[in-house]
Amino acid sequence: MNRKSTNIFWHKMQINREKREELLDQKGILIWFTGLSGSGKSTVASALESKLYDMGKLTYLLDGDNVRYGLNSNLGFTKEDRSENIRRISEVCKLFVDAGLITIATFVSPFKEDRDRARKLLGDDFIEIYVDCPLEVCKKRDPKGIYKKAISGKIKNFTGIDSEYEVPHDAEITISTHISSLEDCVNKILNYINL
């Protein structure tokens, strides 16, 4: 049974992206953070958003856990569900970028294929940031206590334990949170996006 509708048509709006960006005095972009749980994605993204706010930029931060409370609450952590999670959030990001927002997304997004699909959807507006942090450091940080649960078998399909993480080799930016300070990580991103 095919549930996909065929009787839909794109409606062209009177106010386009260029007009929204002109109103906001900024260009809509997507800053996509990927890395293991506990690598520091949300911490760096939140600090980046604060810095952009201080610069007078309109942003929105989409965090992996927060999105799973609502939009993706019906998805688990199988490979298929993880791919669907990233597909949905990529479409949301595309809408936010079209609205002229500097969109910040923090998702483990372990599979290259899913990240590549997001990159293709957003084109030049997609900036990938690989948050590099060794698994052992992430396990020690374990801010949510989930590595302990995954290692004990209470959580299945956990990235880095019993599910693979495919390291990006073509990310625009790599930050190493186990080596660099939070301020240095944020400044490296700001220097790249050059707003």
Q: Residues annotated as binding site?
A: 35-42
Strand-pair category, 126-132 with 59-63 = unpaired
- Go through 56-68 and write b for each residue having 16 or more CB atoms within 10 A of its CB, e for each that does not: ebebebbbbeebb
Q: Between vectors from CA 66 to CA 101 and to CA 95, what angle results, nearest 5°?
A: 30
* Separation of alpha carbons 135 and 25, rounded Å: 40
163 is catalytic: no
- Go through 120-135 and write b for each residue having 16 or more CB atoms within 10 A of its CB, e for each that does not: ebbeebbbbbbbbbeb
Whether residue 191 contacts residue 49, with contact meaning beta carbons closer than 8 Å, is answered with no
Helix (H) or strand (E) holding 173: strand 173-176
Q: Which of 5, 50, 90, 109 is labelled catalytic?
A: 109
Binding site for ATP, by residue number, is 35-42
Instruction: Give me the active site residues, please.
Output: 109
